[in-house]
Amino acid sequence: MSRIAMTSDNHFDVNRIDSQEMLKQQAEYLVTQQIDYYLIAGDLFNDFQKSMKYVHDLQTELEDATKVLFIAGNHDMLAGVSFEELESIQDDIYVHNKTIDVAGTNWTIIGNNGWYDYSFRPEKTDIDEIELWKRAYWVDRAIQQPMTDIERMQIVLLQTKQQLELAAKRQRQVLYFTHFSPKREYLINKPDIRMWSMANAMMGSYRLGDLLEKEQVDSVLFGHMHIHPAPRTYGQTTYYNQSVGYKNKHINEWLTEPFFNQWVERLQVIEKN
């Protein structure tokens, strides 16, 4: 049996957290809880290099007690990395479009950064309008990519389908983790607030959820949306959003404080045989 802990959206820089001190606290907790794998579904820093340094430092602190696995969120992609690098980096900790077998079990972990295709956009809003709004207002306008968002999401779907087919051939059960939302049901709808409604278009894609459920994936971790739902099951697939979220002078999304307590509160531990 392996114990797997899952988190997302720690946002150390936005939350003004001493990440090196928090690293030691998180590592101690993971060891105390006998966690075999620690999955981070993106958004540690607004800089990919800082995020990668953190996960490597955390792995060094943990030594062989816990294996750290990380995929990038949109905030990690804001600086310090290109699209080509995101797709090609070879690193044991960074598991975008990679498969990791859980030792001693029939389980496989598949990681993919994910993206969005505007399939969550408001009704009667065309794609051109969303693209214009994104370039004007959305944080991801700083992310450079050699394709449209719809084309980028299509790559995600193809990568995911190929990885799931390989896992099925090996008769492996799958825990899939990504950053963006695979389900429309998690959206927070505020039709009277245009900014909110337009931002929903950048939350993810229902096509990913459809694919995961069609392939009978058992467990899915995602982040991006700073919400606090209990695990939900659709068909044979259970979804987990374990976002820590923001706490600053403008917004407080935490259930408790300080940061470490919120991280523990939002940490989900599951066991796989």
pLDDT (tens digit, 9 = 90+) per residue, 195-227? 889 999 999 999 999 999 999 999 999 999 999
Provide the residue ranges of all domains of the chain, joining segments of one domain with +.
2-272
Three-point CA angle 140, 81, 248, nearest 5°? 50
Instruction: Inform me whether the pLDDT recorded for 47 exceeds 90.
Output: yes
Strands 268-272 and 219-222: unpaired
Q: Are 237 and 217 in contact (CB under 8 A)?
A: yes
Q: What is the CATH number of domain 2-272?
A: 3.60.21.10
Q: What is the pLDDT of residues 222-247, one digit of tens each?
A: 999 999 999 999 999 999 999 999 99
Instruction: Inform me whether the pLDDT recorded for 273 exceeds 90.
Output: no
Compute the average pLDDT of residues 65-91. 98
Q: What pLDDT, on a 0 to 100 scale, did the predictor assign at position 155?
A: 98
Instruction: Inform me whether the pLDDT recorded for 61 exceeds 90.
Output: yes
Instruction: Inform me whether the pLDDT recorded for 194 exceeds 90.
Output: no
Cis preceding-peptide flag for 258 (omega within 30 of 0): yes
* pTM of structure: 0.98
Q: What pLDDT, on a 0 to 100 scale, did the predictor assign at position 189?
A: 87
Residue 224, C-beta contacts closer than 8 angstroms, at least 6 positions apart: 8, 9, 42, 43, 73, 74, 179, 180, 181, 203, 204, 243
Supply the Cα-derived Rg of the chain in whole angstroms: 18
Q: CA-to-CA distance for 268 and 257, rounded, in angstroms?
A: 17
Q: CA-to-CA distance for 163 and 176, rounded, in angstroms?
A: 10
Q: What pLDDT, on a 0 to 100 scale, did the predictor assign at position 49?
A: 98
Q: What is the pLDDT of residues 100-153, one digit of tens each?
A: 999 999 999 999 999 999 999 998 899 999 999 999 999 999 999 999 999 999
